[in-house]
Structure formats: structure tokens, C-alpha cells
């Protein structure tokens, strides 16, 4: 599919190509955080602590909100005194009971997986937090069982009602709950900083910014006509890579694979010698002589370097592995794009990378002549599985 590069530098044309308001929805991420913090406070997430810290937390999220559970798990860390697990659908683990907290997230409040898990959690007497549309079946389950439901504020655009474009409306209440029960250190003050950082990214990635100074537009151009391999160099960037791959698939219709270091280094570099890698003659071939198929492109998501005052031996080891992967890619003729998070709390660094790849996915879709919000094939699938 031909890419319309000129479209990316024409704000009016971008607006016409994006009638559902996907770019506006992404630009509202900071506002989503602030509104969700207020909604969580008004809903009473502090009530989740009245019986003390839960024994375990189960997060039910899927589709556009799937990454919510992954983020909470990442922030809690492997040394957390509270077990965190993620479920996409039934059944609810047999051990879940009154000592545990179940978090169910669904933008519509009707997704069968989170709804079924919430209902079963309520039946067993577990503490329950739900996040989704007010008045939805999911909200009714929480209210009926004296759980906590955090309603998602109404969206200003059609795209804003899609879960993948409203990530921060869905994630923020879960982060607030995690802080309330002592699972994470994501305080309201920290969330305010995240909101400010997201506002800054929205300005940097705005439609009126030319591609050569707009990192999101530049990344969209890099990812055109290629098969992206999105690799994170650690826990934070690994979760960001999962989000990036999901956005590329659903928004830009681009198949991509993800990985995280150190575990996936071998799998990733093995693809450098496969059918989508550059052939020895490709480096010197005339690109206008004959059409070529899509080629691999390594998108490296790098975490911020630890401060000198707090050296991190594990980071240094992973950084060496990351450098080795990059050199291997370049020697194999695989082009590399790289994005690095700014220093800060893990949730701030996650926000940096997600903002970039979210905007890049939408710009890539628009420049490819696609509606970022609606896929006819996904619509067909839903019709056939009802």
C-alpha cells in the first residue's frame, strides 16, 4: 500500500483523514489521567483497604485494555508481597476468595471475559474493583455487591470511546487502587506528573508539527512497508513493546512481533537471517530496478539510563546485550529505529514510549489511507462470532 508522505505535513488533510478523532483522543491522554484520578477518588477506591491489604490481586483485562494488567504487574515487581496475576477470560482461579481483590476492566462494560470474572468474584465474596462505562453490566455487578466501580468519563470524540485510544482512562483508576492498597507507589502527585508529561508529548507529536521535527511522524515513516520487530530492553520497555505491537496491528494493520531482553534476544536475532531480512545483494540493489517485499525493521525501545548516584548492575548487563543485538542487526542489514525513555518513575518512562508509538501508529494508518479506528475485518469477525 502506497504511503502518502505529504499527508503527514498537512494538518488540514490529516484532520479530514481522521474524522473519528483518533489523534485528538491520543492528545487527550493527560486530561484522561486527571479526570480518572478524580473519578477514582469520587468512587472511593480507598474503600478497598478497609479489610487490610489483599492477599492477591487478579486483573481481568483484554483487547485494547489488555496492557492494564501487564502495567500493574510490572510496577508491583517480582518481589511484591502481593501476588498479581492477569486473566483474559474465565475461569477465575479456584483459590480466589474473600481475601483477594479482583480488578475487571472493560471500556464498554460488556466484554464477556472481565464481566464473567467480576460476577464470579462477587459470588465468592472477593473484593471487587471495576472500571468501565457507567450503567453498564460490569458497573451493576460492582454496585450490587458493594464493590467499587470507577466510571470512564464521556469521550469528546468517537475514537475516545475505543479502549485502545482511552488507555489512561482505564489504567489510571487501577494505578490509584494499587497505590491505595500498598501494591505500588503511584501516588496522585506522581500521576499529576504523568499527566503533564503526556501533555508535553501531545504538543511534540501534534499534527501541525513537520515530520522532520516530529518523532512520531518520523517513526511512522520508518515503519512503512516493513515488518517491525519491537524489542524492549527491560521490564518497563517490554510492556511498552507489547502495547506498541497491539497498536500497530489494530490501528495501522501492520503485523509485528515483540520481545524483551534478556530472554528474547536469541529469538529476535534469529529473524535477521530469515525470509524478511535483507539479502546480501539487497544492500547495493537499485530500489527502482525491481519491487521488493517488506523487510524487517528493529524498533528498539530503550529505558532511561540509571543515575550515577544509583548504579544498576542489571541495567548495565542488559545494556550490553541491547548493544550487541543492535550491532548484529546492523551487520545483517536490518534497519534500526530507537526510542529512549526520559528519566523518571517507571510509569513516567512507560508513558514516554507509549505516547510515541501510539501517535506513530495513528500517523502510519492515516498516511496509508486507513481509518485508525475501524477495521472491516474486525467488524466481520464480531458479526460471525455473535
**40 and 99 inside one domain:** yes
What is the tally of structural domains in the chain?
A: 2
pLDDT at 309 over 50: no
pLDDT at 138 over 60: yes
Evaluate whether 120 touches 92 at the Cβ level (below 8 Å). Answer: yes
Tell whether 14 is covered by a domain: no
- Give DSSP secondary structure letters for 206-225: -TTS-GGG-HHHHHHHHHTT
How far, CA to CA in Å, does 210 sit from each of 11, 94, 114, 315, 369?
A: 9, 54, 41, 35, 19
How far, CA to CA in Å, does 386 sit from each of 102, 103, 296?
A: 27, 25, 36
Instruction: Give pLDDT, residue 292.
Output: 65
Binned at pLDDT 50, 70 and 90, residue 307 comes out as low
Distance CA 113, CA 91 (A): 9
Instruction: Give pLDDT, residue 137.
Output: 97
Binned at pLDDT 50, 70 and 90, residue 99 comes out as very high
Residues 6 or more apart whose CB falls under 8 angstroms from that of 45 comprise 129, 148, 150, 173, 176, 177, 180
What does the pLDDT look like over 255-294, one tens digit per residue? 999 999 999 999 999 999 988 887 655 555 555 554 466 8
**180 and 289 inside one domain:** no
Tell whether 187 is covered by a domain: yes
For residue 254, the number of C-alpha atoms closer than 13 Å in the C-beta half-sphere is 37
Tell whether 145 is covered by a domain: yes
For residue 288, the number of C-alpha atoms closer than 13 Å in the C-beta half-sphere is 0
Phi-psi region of 187 (alpha: psi -120 to 50; beta: other; left: phi over 0): beta
**61 and 182 inside one domain:** yes
Write down the mean pLDDT value for the chain.
Answer: 91
**185 and 214 inside one domain:** no
How large is the greatest C-alpha to C-alpha distance in the chain, in angstroms? 71
Tell whether 51 is covered by a domain: yes
What does pTM read for this prediction?
0.93
What does the pLDDT look like over 226-262, one tens digit per residue? 999 999 999 999 999 999 999 999 999 999 999 999 9
Instruction: Give pLDDT, residue 286.
Output: 56
Binned at pLDDT 50, 70 and 90, residue 95 comes out as very high
Evaluate whether 82 touches 211 at the Cβ level (below 8 Å). Answer: no
**54 and 103 inside one domain:** yes
How far, CA to CA in Å, does 3 sit from each of 222, 365, 369?
A: 11, 9, 8
pLDDT at 372 over 70: yes
Tell whether 92 is covered by a domain: yes
**243 and 345 inside one domain:** yes
The domain of 74 spans 22-195
Evaluate whether 135 touches 145 at the Cβ level (below 8 Å). Answer: no
What SS3 state is found at 380?
helix
What does the pLDDT look like over 24-80, one tens digit per residue? 999 999 999 999 999 999 999 999 998 889 999 999 998 889 999 999 999 998 788
Amino acid at each position: 500500500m502506497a504511503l502518502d508522505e505529504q499527508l503527514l505535513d498537512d494538518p488540514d488533510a490529516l484532520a479530514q483523514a481522521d474524522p473519528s478523532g483518533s489523534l485528538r483522543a491520543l492528545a487527550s491522554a493527560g486530561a484522561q489521567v486527571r479526570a480518572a484520578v478524580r473519578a477514582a477518588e469520587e468512587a472511593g477506591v480507598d474503600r478497598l483497604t478497609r479489610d487490610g491489604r489483599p492477599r492477591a490481586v487478579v486483573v481481568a483485562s483484554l483487547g485494547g485494555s489488555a496492557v492494564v494488567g501487564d502495567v500493574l504487574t510490572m510496577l508491583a515487581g517480582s518481589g511484591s508481597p502481593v501476588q498479581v496475576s492477569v486473566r483474559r477470560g474465565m475461569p477465575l482461579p479456584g483459590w480466589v476468595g474473600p481475601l483477594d481483590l479482583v480488578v475487571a476492566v472493560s471500556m464498554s462494560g460488556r466484554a464477556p471475559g472481565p464481566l464473567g470474572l467480576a460476577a464470579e468474584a462477587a459470588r465468592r465474596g472477593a473484593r471487587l474493583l471495576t472500571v468501565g462505562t457507567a450503567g453498564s453490566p460490569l458497573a451493576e455487578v460492582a454496585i450490587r455487591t458493594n464493590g467499587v466501580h470507577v466510571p470512564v468519563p464521556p469521550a469528546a470524540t468517537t475514537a475516545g470511546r475505543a479502549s485502545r485510544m482511552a488507555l489512561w482512562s482505564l489504567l489510571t483508576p487501577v494505578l490509584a487502587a494499587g497505590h491505595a492498597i500498598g501494591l505500588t507507589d503511584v501516588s496522585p502527585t506522581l500521576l499529576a506528573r504523568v499527566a503533564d508529561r503526556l501533555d508535553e508529548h501531545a504538543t511534540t507529536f501534534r499534527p501541525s508539527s513537520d515530520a522532520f521535527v516530529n518523532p512520531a511522524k518520523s517513526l511512522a515513516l520508518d515503519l512503512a512497508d516493513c515488518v517491525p520487530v519491537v524489542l524492549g530492553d527491560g521490564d518497563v520497555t517490554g510492556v511498552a513493546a507489547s502495547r506498541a505491537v497491539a497498536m500497530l496491528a489494530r490501528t495501522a494493520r501492520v503485523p509485528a512481533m515483540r520481545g524483551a531482553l534478556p530472554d528474547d534476544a536469541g529469538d529476535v536475532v534469529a529473524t535477521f537471517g530469515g525470509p524478511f531480512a535483507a539479502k546480501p545483494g539487497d544492500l547495493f540493489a537499485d530500489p527502482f530496478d525491481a519491487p521488493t517485499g517488506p523487510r524487517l525493521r528493529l524498533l528498539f525501545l530503550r529505558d532511561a539510563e540509571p543515575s550515577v548516584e544509583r548504579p544498576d548492575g542489571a541495567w548495565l548487563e542488559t545494556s550490553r546485550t541491547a548493544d550487541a543485538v543492535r550491532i548484529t542487526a546492523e551487520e545483517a542489514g536490518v534497519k534500526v529505529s530507537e526510542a529512549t525513555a526520559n528519566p523518571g518513575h517507571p510509569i513516567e518512562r512507560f508513558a514516554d514510549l507509549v505516547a510515541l508509538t501510539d501517535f506513530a501508529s495513528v500517523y502510519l494508518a492515516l498516511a496509508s489511507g486507513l481509518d485508525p479506528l475501524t477495521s472491516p475485518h474486525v467488524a466481520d469477525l464480531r458479526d460471525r462470532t455473535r
